[in-house]
Amino acid sequence: MPDYKPNQFVRVFAVVALIAAFILVGVVVATSGGGSGSGDGGGAHKTKVSKAGARALHKGVWIVHPGDTLGAISAKTGIDVTTLQTLNPDLDPHALLEGQRIALR
């Protein structure tokens, strides 16, 4: 039976490739943010509340303006879209009307 002599280059390359894979996974996880990015409230991340959002939070109601979407209202007030839908069960997020009131608490 011939003597088996492992190739030193292959052994070092395997270790370096494994370390590179771990670093790549770490970078991807760290930069992904965990959110969906679609504004649908999939995450519980903190957002900066706009001045209009702060006033609406104080009043406890958001009045819909032209072009408002539930995602935009969520971003301005810092309240998740799912929470907005829970607070407003009769709300159709695809048919917001100008002047419509949306409860924030």
Q: What total of structural domains would you count in the chain?
A: 1
pLDDT score recorded for residue 39: 46
- DSSP codes joined into one string, 32-77: H-S--SSSS--S----PPPHHHHHHHHHTEEE--TT--HHHHHHHH
Task: Give the range of the structural domain holding residue 74, as residue numbers without chain letter.
Answer: 51-103
Which pLDDT tens digit goes with each residue over 27-50? 888 887 655 444 444 444 455 777
Asked, for residue 27, whether it belongs to a domain, the answer is no
pLDDT for 19 beyond 90 = yes
Asked, for residue 44, whether it belongs to a domain, the answer is no
- Give the angle 69-72-75 at the CA atoms, nearest 5°: 150
Asked, for residue 61, whether it belongs to a domain, the answer is yes
99 token code pair? 């002047």
Asked, for residue 26, whether it belongs to a domain, the answer is no
Asked, for residue 95, whether it belongs to a domain, the answer is yes
Look at residues 84, 49, 82, 41 and name the one whose alpha carbon lies nearest to residue 64.
84
- Averaged pLDDT of the chain: 80
Residue 68 sits in a domain of what CATH number? 3.10.350.10
Q: What are phi and psi of 62, to 5 degrees?
A: -110, 130
Asked, for residue 25, whether it belongs to a domain, the answer is no
Average pLDDT over residues 46-68: 79
Asked, for residue 29, whether it belongs to a domain, the answer is no
pTM: 0.51
